[in-house]
Each structure stands twice: as C-alpha cells, then as structure tokens.
Structure 1
Amino acid sequence: MVSSWTEGDVVEVHEAATDYAFSVLAESLLGSDIDAERETVRDAAASITARFDTGRLSSFLPEWIPTATNRRYRRRHDTLRETIRELVARRRAAGPPSDPASADDLLGTLLAAAEMGALNDEELVDNAVTFLFAGHETSALGLRYALYCLAGRPEIQEQIHAEVDSFDGDPTPSAVRECPVLGAAVDEALRLYPPVHSFFREPTEDVELGGYRIPEGVVLTLTPWTVHRDGRWWSDLETYQPERWLRETAEGATVRGDETRGPAVGERPEYSYFPFGGGPRHCIGMRFARQELRLATATLLQRFEFEQVTEDLSLKASANTRPDGSVRLRVRSSVQATR
C-alpha cells in the first residue's frame, strides 16, 4: 500500500484504507478469485450504506418501496450475490475441501460445510456477502480513524515507534501482542469513532429494561457511538486518549488493562465499550479485525509519521460511521525508517 508514498505526500486515507482492507479480505477470506470483483463489492457496500443512512427519511421506508436508493440497493446487492454464486460454482468445479478444517480460506470452509449439509447454498451466499461487507467496510473505517487520530498525537506515534523499533522485519501477530501502546491507540480510536454506528437486537420474550417493558419482537437499537460518549463511564469524552487504556506496573512497565472489560482506569460495566457488539452475537471477525488493525498500524508507523491535513472530521451515520468528506494526512518518513 505504501510503496508509492514519498516524503511530504498528502494521502487520501479513505482510498488507501479501503484498498488495503479489500486486499486482506481477498487473500484471507474469499481467495484471490474475488480480487477482480473489487468494484462490484465497493458498489454494493456503498449502496448498503446509503440504504441505511439514518440521515435520510427514505431509510425508514420499507425496502419494497421503489425509491432510487432502494432500487440501486437491490440491483447492486443482487449483482454481488450473483458474483458470489459464480465464485462458489468455480470452486466446486475445482473440487472443494473434504472438510472445513482443511480449507485455507473462509469460502473453502463454507463450501466444505455445505457439502456436509451444515448449510444450504443460500445460507452460504448470505454468509459470504456479510463477511465481504462487514470485513471490507468496517476494517477500512477502523484503519482510517486510527491513522487520523494518531496523526493528531505525535507523541503517541513516537511511543509506538519505540515499541516496533526492535522488530526484526515486518510486524507479526505475536510481536504486536507485546505492544501495549499500539493496542491502546487502536482501541481508543474504536471508542471515539466506532466503525459500526448501531447494532440491532430483538428480544425473544418480554423483558424489563431500565424500568421499561420491552415486548417480544421489538427491535432495539444499540449504539456504541452514544455509549462510548456517556459521561457516567468516560472522562474527556471527545478527546483521543490512548493513555486511558494503559497502566503502569510497580516495576515501571507500561501494560494494557483488561481488554474484555475496557480501560484500566476506573470501574465500568462490561458493555461501556462494545465496538464489535457483544454477547453470543458479537462480531465473528472481532479478533481478526483487531489484529488486522494493529498489524497495519505497526507496519505503517515503522516507515512513516503522519500529520493531519484534515483537522476536523464531519461524520454521518448509517450502517456505519463514515466521514462526510475526505480524510487527508501528510506522510513524513520516520526516523526509524531512515536508519
């Protein structure tokens, strides 16, 4: 991704992060076959985002009403599903894996499961479409916000430089696990700008919640954006502070807090932080996405430092939390990269 970047370049982070996230997805989840369908996936993601843009009154209308947004959504969504069906047919013709454990990507796992009768073809396509949209769009947004936030905190960039300085070559999964400031920097960006704006849950029986009776089948909207800015659990709500995720041991070492419960400072409910949802239906790609973001951020900060050109973000909420405009950063060669 960075091979064409040089000292002083101004980079549109949206394009770079989207291309990166798609390449990761193509390689590890659906195989290189999907790489040729980059525009199909991108168009479908854009139409899904527009369909659920809560800033538009039309997003609250039923899908069957033939608005321009709904028609575009159905057309592009159908095109994506047909693309997946063709990809499945090619894989089957080549011979699917004999069992899910022997597959080397997600599509192979799904195909093997289908051959065993664990899911039918429509469910297979449903899963593949979900992974494509969720894994492509949200990972790109997460990287975009992490780099934007770090560009405004040069001292945190320097601390991450210090952590990755000892790496022998590119960062690895095991290496980034030993980088508390890196992990805190990514997770704080996900607190401040959670890529998924809202999750939806539907109770299977009548429940009482906060003194209110919620009937069975009523759809509840749970928004990390609001909870991550709740003054009962967080201080300096609008400030990017990776420090809140860190604590110092008696020996003077900087370490992470409990990742399952949130920042190390203070007592907070478990779901005061839930960028990936929670419970049995939390994001199935949560660990994958967090690892992907840490590896990408570490690799980039090995080579570059970033400065904000876009200083103020204008955001819009739909299925995801998206910038309403470009996010531009200036690239500087890091001291480490010139050694």
Structure 2
Amino acid sequence: MFGTDACMIAHPDAVQRVLLDDHEAFGKGEVLTRNLADAMGEGLFVSGGDQWENQRTQVQPAFYRKQLHTYVPEMQSTAAETVEQWRDGMVVDVNDTMTATTMDVLGRTLFGVDVRENPIVSEASDAILTRFDTSRFWSFLPDRLPTPTNRRYRRKLDKLQQFVDDLARQRRQQDPENRGDDLLSLLVGFVEAGDLTVDELRDNMVTFLFAGHETTALGLTYTLLCLAQHPDRQADLQAEVDAVCDGRVTAGDLPELERLEHAIDEALRLYPPVYMFFREAKRDVTLQGYDIPAGTTLVLPQWAVHRDPAWWDDPETFRPERFDGDAGRPEYAYFPFGGGPRHCIGMRFARMEMKTVLATLLDEYSFELVSDPDPDLIASTNLKPGGPIEIALDVR
C-alpha cells in the first residue's frame, strides 16, 4: 500500500520475538517516524538508538512506583470533581467526560498546570488526532500539502509548542529547590545539565500530552461501557471498593482492588485503545517459517490477537475472571501496552489512573448503558467510538 510492503503478525510467539526476544532487528519504521516527525520527532515515542535509550533512562524516574504514588491524590481529586458535577438520573457521554478528566489529571500530575485554563492543549490534541486519523485518506497525504486539515494541524501544533516552551521557561526561572519532581521539572533539569536539548524537552512534553490522555480516556470509556452492561459486575466491584477504601481511594488501596484491575484488563482486551503496533524489519528475518525482507512494515494487531479463540475462551464475552490466575496462554496473547524494552513508559501511570478514577466513580454511582450496546468503532490513531457512549447515573 502506497509503495510499502506490509505483513500482519498475529501469533503471540512472533509478537514476542518482534517486541522482546529479537527487538534490535526491528525499528519504529519510516512510515511512523515520517508522519510524526514534526510533532514529536525528538521525543521518546519516535526517537531510536542511543537517543531513545538516553531519554528513556532520564525520564524513567518520573514513572517509578514511589513517584507514581504521589500522583494518586491529584487523580482522586480530579475524579471527585467530575463526580461533583453529576446528579442522579443524568445521562453522561462517557468518552467526552473521561477525555476531560484524563487531560486534567495529566496537566496536574506531570506538568503542574491546569490545562483547563488554556484550550490550546485540547485543541492541538484534536488537530493532531485528526491529522493522523488513518480512517481518512488525508492522513496519507504529505504534511506540505496545504489542505485544511494540514493547515489547522500546523497552526495548532505551533501554538502547542510555544505553550510548552513557555512552561519550560517559567520552570527554569524557579529556584531548583522549589520546582518539585514532576516530569517537567526533571526534563528542565536535564536541559540545564546538558543531557537533553531544548527540542528533545519540547517533543517529549508534546509526546506525553498527546499520547498520555486519549488512550487512558478510551480505556476508562470502554471499561465503563462493559460495566454498564453488567450490573452484577458493578455490584461486585462496589463491594470491593467499599471493603478496601475508607471513603477515598489512596495509593495504598490500589493493589488490593484486584477485581477492579481484572475488569480493566478485560476491557482492554476487548477494546484495546492502541489496536495495532507498527515495526519495520531492519534486516531479513524469518518469523513462524515465513521470510520477511528488510524494509517490510510489520503490523501487530492487538485487536485480532486479543480476540483469537486459540488463546481466549468465548473471546467476545466480558469475563474479568479470566485474568484471575495463570490461564496457560502465551504471554503475548495480551499486549495492550506493547512489550519489550519499548513498552509504554506510562503503563503504570495509566493503570493507576484508571483504577483511581473508576474506584471514585463506583463509590458514588451505578451505571446503566442507554446507548448502543455494540457501538460503531473507528480505526483511527486509536480505537475510538464512532458515536456517543452514554450511561445513565444512579446514585448509590
């Protein structure tokens, strides 16, 4: 397609080889890096080799478990503010609500700002997602073509990059002892020490703003979609939240919310927000007996692997208990956050956020689905609902 040879890799053993066992033989690929070069070309998501390894090492402390625990109060407060706006009997568009919630969490925890005060973050995110919406033909057109989508993308991206530069400049002006230890402060410190360039700081900030909120919002949306269709599951989770949390979920509570974690796992299996990964073979390789020439684009589809009956009994059904214990399936029959050295650095952050938000919502409300139980889905940059997913709220 468009001059690129591609091969779909849908066996867990082959997925494991590409992402983990022989990962050095596979790169991000020219298709991905070319499209995202303007927005985040010097950031973790797109960079490779020594540049990626250096950045990953430096950014990792912001995502250590101990550091992540300090973010939970802000996650809980943001979710509580969402709940305060709800009323018994209201009908809520879940994806819109969860998108606003996760954007707010990201701004508060990683960057120390209230993104609600500046619409450029959400506007730029929307422009980037529209520009790379693979369900639309324009996502395959060069950036230099002056289409309306490209012009809006370029305009909003310029404003977002200026916003990020301003944030970094303000942080540099603060006393290092009073900056805090969020991601922005860490990156500013690395720039001052000469370990990161200004471009690398900017592109990593854009990377986390862009990639860090929509995927988590979609994970929350699809978990609520599943729970809203299963009142018995909701009741089980509410009982768990009542037993574990003392009116307000804390970081210490999260490991004990095991059934809630299984429900999230199952929703991510059925509706993986990132529904396929791309890699490119750097050299000739053989996978499952098939010869793959160098330069071939490899497509690793979570959607197909997560619903393959070879690995999953009754794969179309929401059954969280399938994650309770070792089911004997291959490890890479499930990979919503990727795998290997380049697995999503924000995986723990996203999981903690989803558990914190859902526990806060379940503590106050029950949900009933009032929209289509089998919603249309759009294979865009992420797996997005094609229309509103609406739930009716029932105060507990």
TM norm. shorter chain > 0.5: yes
- The equivalences for 1:86-235 within 5 A come to 86-96=166-176, 103-166=180-243, 167-235=245-313
Question: In 2 relative to 1, CA 33–2 (structure 1 residues): closer, same or farther, beyond 3 Å?
Answer: closer
Q: Deviations over 1:39-89 (max 9, x none)?
A: 212222222222222222222233333332222222222221111011111
Q: Deviations over 1:186-239 (max 9, x none)?
A: 111111111112222233333222333333343322221121112211122222
Deviation at 1:314, TM superposition (A): 1.1
State how far apart, in whole Å, the 1-side matches of 2:238 and 2:271 are.
23
- Say which SS state the counterpart of residue 83 (structure 2) adopts: coil
Normalization by structure 1: what TM-score?
0.87
Structure 1 regions of 5+ residues with no counterpart? 247-256, 258-263, 335-339
How many residues in Structure 1 have an aligned counterpart in Structure 2?
Answer: 313
Letter of the 1:303 partner, please give it: E
- The equivalences for 1:35-114 within 5 A come to 35-37=116-118, 39-96=119-176, 103-114=180-191
Letter of the 2:366 partner, please give it: E
- Alignment match, 2:370: 309
Normalization by structure 2: what TM-score?
0.75
Question: In 2 relative to 1, CA 79–210 (structure 1 residues): closer, same or farther, beyond 3 Å?
Answer: farther
Deviation at 1:115, TM superposition (A): 1.2
Structure 2 regions of 5+ residues with no counterpart? 1-81
Which one has more relative contact order, counting CA pairs under 8 Å at least 6 apart?
2
Question: In 2 relative to 1, CA 64–216 (structure 1 residues): closer, same or farther, beyond 3 Å?
Answer: farther
Does structure 2 retain, via aligned residues, the 8 Å contact 1:199–1:222?
A: yes
Structure 2 residue 355 is matched with structure 1 residue 274: no
The structure with the greater share of residues assigned to helix is: 2
State how far apart, in whole Å, the 1-side matches of 2:177 and 2:200 are.
18
Deviates more, 1:173-182 or 1:272-281: 173-182
Percent identical among aligned pairs is 50
Deviation at 1:34, TM superposition (A): 4.0
State how far apart, in whole Å, the 2-side matches of 1:309 and 1:269 are.
37
Q: Deviations over 1:151-183 (max 9, x none)?
A: 111111111111111221211222121122111
State how far apart, in whole Å, the 1-side matches of 2:330 and 2:250 are.
32
State how far apart, in whole Å, the 1-side matches of 2:309 and 2:274 are.
20
Q: Deviations over 1:233-260 (max 9, x none)?
A: 11222221112112xxxxxxxxxx3xxx
- Say which SS state the counterpart of residue 129 (structure 1) adopts: helix
State how far apart, in whole Å, the 2-side matches of 1:207 and 1:66 are.
39
Structure 2 residue 79 is matched with structure 1 residue 17: no
Question: In 2 relative to 1, CA 211–68 (structure 1 residues): closer, same or farther, beyond 3 Å?
Answer: farther
- Alignment match, 2:8: none
- Say which SS state the counterpart of residue 14 (structure 1) adopts: helix
- Say which SS state the counterpart of residue 252 (structure 2) adopts: helix
Question: In 2 relative to 1, CA 154–326 (structure 1 residues): closer, same or farther, beyond 3 Å?
Answer: same
State how far apart, in whole Å, the 1-side matches of 2:292 and 2:176 are.
45
